[in-house]
Chain A
Amino acid sequence: MSKKKLAIKLLRAVWFAFMKKIIRAILCLALFLGLGACKSRHTAEKSGFGDDDQVLRISCTEEFDSLDPRKARSLSTVTLLHMLYEGLMRLDFHGNPAPALASEMKVSPDKKTYTFKLRSSQWSNGDPLTSADFIRTWKTVLDPQFPAPNAYQFYLIKGARAAKEGTGKWEDVGISAPDSNTLIIELNEPAPYFPELACAHFFYPVHASQTAESPIGNGPFTLFNLQHHYELSVKKNPLYWDANEVRLDGVIMQILDEHTALRLFENGEVDWVGSPLAKLPSDAIPALKGQHLLRTANAAGVHWLRTQTLSPPFNNEKMRKAFALAIDRKALVELVLKGSQKPAEGIVPPTIAARSHPYFEDADIPAAWNAFQEALKEMDLSIDDLPEIVYCYPTDDRAHKTAQALQQQWFKALGVTVKLNRMEWQLFSQTVKQGNFQLASGSWFADFRDPINFLDLFKEKGQTTNLTGWENPDYAALLNQSSQESDPVKRMELLHKAEGILLAEMPVIPLYFAVYNYVKDDNLLGVYFSDLGYVDFKYAFFGD
């Protein structure tokens, strides 16, 4: 028998033997999966919602870390919590704190006592929401045993720090409820940003019988469907006190790979890709910009370099200055990052700073060179004796590009070759924490909109946010003084002075102010994109 004939015979035999089984297997599989393939594409996309419903589909990178506002920490979860919950105040469309659950807010003359009157409102299961719900929630947050990562945001309330650290009692905390619709909060110091803080997710109330599977909310939307690591959808909450203002019927958040998400967007299967729930792939940004699809929102965040100020060469202030002035931030932002970031010549982002004047000049090469020579003289070194300088950064595409650009800029301006050390994120973080670095990349994004949020990070050496080993008594004194100042204008002046000290001594070298890049459906309107890194879809709708 020739081999050709044999092959045909063989194939036929294999075909018949397997076909029966295959057909049966495929049928079973199809039946098992509910014949989903036959569904029309449209309903498959808006799983669970009607065809005419206004449903928004967003991509997100990661599973939400918790639906409980007390436990949540990741920035992407904050957007979700703003859908499911409502606090005493809520940032309105222009970003100003506006009454929400509290119908009115009274401030005492010394600006240390806030009295909130609650409006009558309901939980999504119909239970009435009273001041007791707030008290109970906040008591658990300040319980030393309860895992609440954001509990430190309560520390400006009288006695809160002591209660959380176990040295004080809950009864001494300055939170009280004289009746079921009044809340009184006493602060340690006049903090003008407290109303803003009261909008944040860590001050949200939580229902008494809250469980992870069925969270009971009080926000514009309620949980509709949850498939972990795949999809989370919310639908309009008819019991929300301001339900008439909510126009979307639902929001579906899909966990997608960033490249896949862009492909789905291209195909019209997703309406929003990118910040704040996901990242746009950095290699796709120039192309999206070229197609005029890329949108940019300002972020209250700054990317900087930490210097280790306890050991040479960056124990020398002029050396830090030299490296800071040698950086061409404009080139970095426009030619390397290309995401419309803003060069940073200060620490406090322009969306927060009352006054935005530069504290130094960008790419001031002659000044950098002078500072470098003086530093060498002070340290009694020649350029050849300079110890090897290493710049550490995590394995992130953008950090890598930034590092390469900085390396080149420093070499051009100062003739110093900085060694680049790219590290796995956790290792990087640990290295920086232990102070085993000379230059390290870093960033800070505001929790609330006030310069103190940035300046406080470097108040003391031992703070987990400082890590530079730098401290300055004048700086700390100015910050203390500002916290006791009840006149907002004078307070801002003090904070400016403090920022001046920080930038004169440069334990951190600012690089650029962050932005949020995203693409969205043109018809989606009414979205409030906060510079704090979340999006509020309360007023969102699809227009024509």
Chain B
Amino acid sequence: MVSFVCTYLLPRLLALWVVITLTFVVMKVLPGDPFNEEQALPASIQKALNAHYGLDDPVFVQYTRYIQGIFSGNLGPSFRYKDLTVNQIIQDGFPISFLLGLEALCIAIMMGGAAGILSTLYAKRWPDLILFGCLTLAVSVPSFILGALFQYVFALKWGLFPIARWGSFSHTVLPALALSALPAAFIARLIRANLSEVLKQDYIRTARVKGLSEWRVLFVHALRNAVLPVVTYLGPLSANVLVGSFVVEKIFAIPGLGQSFINSVLNRDYTVIMGTTVFYSVVLLTLLTLVDVAYVCIDPRLRRRVFA
């Protein structure tokens, strides 16, 4: 267990610190400031605003203040939305993005898994070709076009789902579908590539020779090995999908966290940039750790190594 902590947790904490520091440096190097606007403010007012938000302190003081804030769990006020704190923005947005992301993730795993297995079984025959066509489309069409298309066809023309906004299950269907297309295609291709490789191996032949049913060979013996790269991919993918997508949330008017990532940078809303980046890193690093744990569960060889 000690070795697990040393090999997995410590480097990740170090990575978190690097992320925080790099974000801070890049943010400060970027031109512009949060109170920049077309209707320029008089210099004295600019100065008063900078003083109030501590932007006239030396950079090192600001840096230590951010670090202190992160460790005390208080990420500070938003410069742009004066009634909001960064904690509040994350608390409001993340549950919504999480729910939507979870739905998209389920769809992606189910559709991608099914498509991957089917196209392996029908390799190089028409179901495979059709699926391959669909997957290529799903990979290459960006989600904002897909979202707008779904909106137009399923909502505006056929009236099956609401056009946009949030509040009920039917509101989540179109954005979740739009969000899941790319990961579903990716998962399908990963499974197809690995499964066809695994099915050629000797131990599968042995299993077949022993008279196991094809069902058991595939699900118990082959899929277990073929699914490992998918698990690897699921870590960063989940982090990406669960904290929200800028484009899909914008098109469907969903009050998730995704938009804060982009808007905070455009507005130079320093505390929100720091807050969302740190939050994202924590989610990502947690999921990567979970992936490692999942690896150990799936692959007995690793289990032996970790607990030796």
Contacts and interface: CB of A to CB of B under 8 A. Distances in A.
Query: Is the A/B pair a real complex?
Result: yes
A257 B250 contact: yes
A429 B32 contact: yes
A426 interface: yes
B12 interface: no
B163 A73 contact: no
B202 interface: no
Residues of B contacting A: mostly: helix
A317 to B, nearest CB: 24
B22 interface: no
A83 interface: no
Nearest to B267: A426
A259 interface: yes
Given A37-B169, A430-B36, A464-B46, A68 B82 contact: yes
A33 B117 contact: no
Contact of B156 (A26, A229, A267, A445): A267
Interface string A247-269: 00000001111011001101101
A65 B253 contact: no
Interface in A114-133: none
Given A3-B122, A6-B215, A145-B48, A36 B36 contact: no
Contacts of A429: 32, 36-38
A194 to B, nearest CB: 19
Interface string A146-169: 111101100000000100110000
Contacts of A9: 215
Nearest to A27: B169
A64 B81 CA distance: 7
A230 B32 contact: no
Nearest to A465: B40
A149 B52 contact: no
Nearest to A446: B39
Contact of B218 (A10, A33, A67, A227): A10
Interface in B192-227: 214-215, 218-219
A504 interface: no
A213 B250 CA distance: 25
Interface residues of A, number: 77
B42 A152 contact: yes
B45 interface: yes
- Of the listed residues B44, B254, B260, the one surrounded by the most CB atoms of chain A closer than 10 A to its CB is B44
B121 A145 contact: no
A427 B32 contact: yes
A3 B41 CA distance: 73
- Of the listed residues A7, A33, A227, A467, the one surrounded by the most CB atoms of chain B closer than 10 A to its CB is A33
Given A37-B170, A149-B41, A152-B42, A255 B121 contact: no
Interface stretch (B83-91, B178-186, B287-295): B83-91
A18 B110 contact: yes
A445 B260 CA distance: 28
Contact of B39 (A35, A145, A228, A444): A444
Nearest to A226: B83
A256 B81 contact: no
Nearest to B260: A229
Contact of B164 (A26, A263, A427, A442): A263
Contacts of B82: 65-66, 68, 71-72, 147, 212
Contact of B52 (A147, A231, A464): A147
Given A426-B32, A427-B32, A260 B38 contact: no
A190 to B, nearest CB: 22
Interface in B87-132: 88-89, 92-93, 99, 103, 106, 110, 114, 117-118, 121-122
Contacts of B83: 66-68, 212-213
A227 B96 CA distance: 12
Contacts of B166: 230
Contacts of B156: 263, 266-267
A18 B107 CA distance: 12
Given A9-B215, A37-B170, A263-B151, A229 B165 contact: no
Given A37-B169, A68-B83, A426-B30, A230 B255 contact: yes
Contact of B255 (A1, A33, A229, A430): A229
A427 B33 CA distance: 10
Nearest to B218: A10
B268 interface: yes
B28 to A, nearest CB: 13
A493 B252 CA distance: 53
A407 to B, nearest CB: 22
B80 A151 contact: no
A29 interface: yes
Interface in A429-464: 429-431, 433, 442-445, 447, 463-464
Contacts of B259: 229
Contact of B117 (A10, A44, A64, A426): A10
A25 interface: yes
Contact of A65 (B32, B36, B80, B148): B80
A526 interface: no
B224 to A, nearest CB: 15
A443 B37 CA distance: 11
A94 interface: no
A358 interface: no
B168 interface: yes
A13 interface: yes
A264 B121 contact: no
A152 B114 contact: no
Interface string B8-32: 0000000000000000000000111
Contacts of A257: 164, 250-251, 253
Contacts of B61: none
Given A227-B255, A269-B163, A44 B168 contact: yes
B255 A426 contact: no
Given A254-B253, A260-B151, A464-B46, A152 B118 contact: no
B10 to A, nearest CB: 36
Contacts of B41: 149, 152, 464
Contacts of A464: 40-43, 46
A152 B42 CA distance: 7
Interface string A61-91: 0011111100111000000000000000000
B168 A25 contact: no
A11 B45 CA distance: 67
Given A34-B168, A66-B81, A149 B251 contact: no
Contacts of B4: none
A41 B129 CA distance: 41
A14 B114 contact: yes
A288 B48 CA distance: 44
A30 interface: yes
A125 B7 CA distance: 59
Contacts of A469: none
A174 interface: no
A195 to B, nearest CB: 22
14 contacts: A3-B121, A34-B168, A36-B167, A36-B169, A66-B83, A144-B48, A149-B49, A229-B255, A257-B250, A260-B252, A260-B253, A263-B155, A426-B36, A426-B268
Given A6-B215, A13-B219, A426-B266, 10 more contacts: A64-B81, A71-B82, A145-B51, A212-B84, A260-B252, A426-B32, A426-B36, A445-B39, A464-B41, A464-B42
